Chain A
């Protein structure tokens, strides 16, 4: 890794890219300008081929989502009787979704709120803890630093499902199984977040900045909460997003911990509905509608968070 980082040397930072062709956008961010300066000189045929490949790949990723959108509008007969890639004879999206929201005495909205609670609370705290620890491991010299990192790395390598069973035993001893806490507490830990935070903290936070703040008499906690957190915003967004989705997607942990349907997250609840399709065909339409409703919020979240993916993670700090 060190071989090519040496080449950067002392280049004059003219990443503004004022004169580069194609830099017509209003606010040229450094990352964008850098990529557009590379855009200059590429052949149009390459662009067409690359874009064609990207479109085909996009179709693959979007097909199941498209299918669920189209089929959420159908009646149960049309679901089986008409072409799955096109609309059926009747359009009853809204009555279908109404059924989803009211079936089983409003079970679905409750599962959605549970998922939101587990994921939202879990992600915020897990991210805060992981960033604090990752920053400490990246920027402080103290005895045992490498041992702790190796230890946590070892923990990352242990499958979450391997700990879920014994964790169930621990929780049942202290009476926590089948409570919100049984899913929430394990969700507060993000070794992966620590991993990312450590990588980005060591790259994005210059020691000079920390030293300067210490000279000014700022306490370590103050330095962390003001300077460090701000520098790590891109990494924080990444960790938040990943942890939120990881908890939202978790199936094994709630499956092991929860018995009460009222505490279920969406994943468990929806699978419960799907399992009933064998006996009761109307659950097919409920499952399709429920799948659509549970895909939408995360789709929006991911598209909205797109802009946070722009720009380099080390942007705006002293490079080194």
Chain B
């Protein structure tokens, strides 16, 4: 086989799956978002007709207070949660890769462990630590006079943020560690010969060289934030603060499967995807600009 066809043969299975499970659904979502379904008969028993609706669904979604609230809620959530998580992941990665850390393998495993616990099960676990009567944490805080309602309408967003941070900090840390390990040892040797201290090594060698990994983790975290679904969905039965349109994704799910409005659900899905796209592109752009300055 000549090299000309080789890359295409290697890429074929991936690209076919990509087209079928990614591109095709996106096209369908976009088409669907411009359609509206009209049912005939009293309960729609005479069948349904799709008609072109233009931007109706988008206008309806963007003027829906619940949906815009859910987007703003995720923005507030993302700014706080992603920042805290990425800073924590970076510090933990640098500490574990530093010369001063004892038993790095053990700690790495402990921090990464939550990533192996599905979001749903993590939420169930943490919910046991949130529910008054069951939670030893609520009990302990009560003894020292602090009354917290982790599932109250104002607190629950940050209780979710805690679950997400708990689940993904170790995962992001591992991506950063992988890139730290890829830094050739001779660079450290050279820095040592030049008399660079540990802090100098962090700021001049490690942080610049792990920038690609940091961008990767930030972008995936932003996308993850916009996709938030399992945690609030599971907690919604325990918290009065979570309605069926608490996050953009919960809203799209509710429109698709509870309200049977596929046009609206698709429009919301497209808006979520576009938002993820724009935010990630912005993150990449900022990173590139910073990269050129340094």
Contact = CB atoms under 8 A, between A and B. Distances in A.
Same complex for A and B? Answer yes
Interface of A: 1, 3-5, 7-9, 11, 15, 30-31, 34-35, 38-42, 46-47, 49-51, 53-54, 57-58, 60-65, 67-68, 71, 79-80, 83-85, 128-130, 132-133, 135-137, 140, 142, 145, 148, 152, 154-155, 157-170, 185-186, 188-189, 191-192, 194-195, 199, 203, 214, 219-221, 224, 238, 245, 248-252, 256, 266-268, 270-271, 274-275, 278, 287-288, 291, 294-295, 298-299, 301-303, 306-307, 309-314, 319
Contact of B223 (A68, A140, A159): A159
Contacts of A220: 1, 3, 6, 9-10
Interface stretch (B47-55, B57-65, B151-159, B273-281): B273-281
A166 B234 contact: no
A314 B120 contact: no
Contacts of A84: 128-129, 134-136, 139
Given A80-B134, A314-B184, A306 B105 contact: yes
A24 B192 CA distance: 22
A299 B115 CA distance: 10
Contacts of A30: 185
A63 B117 CA distance: 13
Contacts of B126: 64
A291 B124 contact: yes
B124 A219 contact: no
A61 B166 contact: yes
Contacts of A128: 13
B237 interface: yes
B25 interface: yes
A278 B131 CA distance: 13
A299 B170 CA distance: 13
Interface string B111-153: 1111111111110111011000111100100000000000000
Contacts of B223: 157, 159
Interface string B97-112: 1111111010111111
Contacts of A166: 24-26, 28-29, 32, 266, 269
A61 B114 contact: yes
A307 to B, nearest CB: 8
Given A15-B185, A238-B178, A310 B105 contact: yes
B285 interface: no
Contacts of A248: 116, 118
A227 B22 CA distance: 31
A11 B192 CA distance: 14
B211 to A, nearest CB: 7
B60 to A, nearest CB: 17
Contact of B230 (A145, A219, A252, A307): A252
Contact of B273 (A51, A67, A130, A162): A162
B145 to A, nearest CB: 19
A313 B6 CA distance: 25
Contacts of B266: 165-166
Given A38-B99, A38-B192, A309-B177, 14 more contacts: A50-B100, A67-B128, A67-B136, A142-B8, A157-B223, A160-B227, A162-B26, A165-B253, A167-B21, A191-B22, A220-B10, A298-B116, A301-B116, A309-B174
A68 B114 CA distance: 13
Interface in B62-98: 92, 95-98
A130 B113 contact: no
13 contacts: A1-B291, A3-B208, A61-B170, A80-B133, A85-B136, A157-B280, A162-B269, A165-B25, A166-B29, A199-B212, A221-B6, A252-B230, A266-B121
A165 B128 CA distance: 31
